[in-house]
Amino acid sequence: MSNLATSNEFLKRLNIQHPIIQGPLGGGPSTPELVAAVSNAGGLGSLGAAYLTPDQITGDIQRIKSLTDKPFQVNLFAGGWDANADADPQPMLEILAEIHHAFGLPPPAPPLPKRDPFPEQFEAVMDQRPPIFSFTFGIPDSDAMARLKQRGIVIFGTATTVQEACLLSDAGVDAIIAQGAESGAHRGTFAGPFESSMVPTLELVAELSRFLTNP
């Protein structure tokens, strides 16, 4: 089967017109209005919900549904959370101290430990049943993956290496998002050291294509 035919089949499955996926952009940029605008234009709008509370996730998804009847996705961080991390914050605090001083702010302090928000965020997503769910920084557990499939939600996972793609494939994702070294924002690495994930985008895509063709 040709790549074009495969691409067309995937677009049909997502029910979108153009092979364009808006980046989730967690932290505010991916507003419900932006998500709906992209979906209404024939692409796939994406809500970056990793920093939202469950109530905010519910409200944003309902707002998106009021603005479009087209497919969209919701993205969460499914890993990378360690409330007992023992990394030394001092080097970063020293950098931030200069900025705080320049703006007349109190000296910076390390954040207090918090519990992983993913379980409660995930329940909010499940209640709202978006057409597509994506994640990065890891893989939801098998129960979460099974629940997504039971509700007919298409699943995207992020890979920065072929090893991660293998794990995502074994977990049952419907599509793998290849995040190359040139990509901005967070690195989705979750299997192996960070240095091993710095694979240029075109090289990573070629490696993943070979893997998907001959797993």
Question: How far is 64 from 61, CA to CA, in rounded Å?
Answer: 5
Domains along the chain?
Answer: 24-32+46-81+116-213 (3.20.20.70)
- φ, ψ (nearest 5 deg) of residue 132: -135, 140
Render pLDDT for 86-118 as a digit per residue (tens, 0 to 9). 778 889 999 999 999 999 999 999 887 788 999
Q: In this structure, are residues 167 and 189 in contact, taking their beta carbons and an 8 Å threshold?
A: no
pTM: 0.84
Question: How far is 10 from 90, CA to CA, in rounded Å?
Answer: 47
Question: ∠ CA(34), CA(137), CA(75), 5° rounding?
Answer: 25
Asked if the model's pLDDT at residue 212 lies above 80, the reply is: no
The residues, ordered by sequence, that sit 6+ positions from 77 with a Cβ below 8 Å of its Cβ are: 26, 50, 118, 135, 136, 137, 138
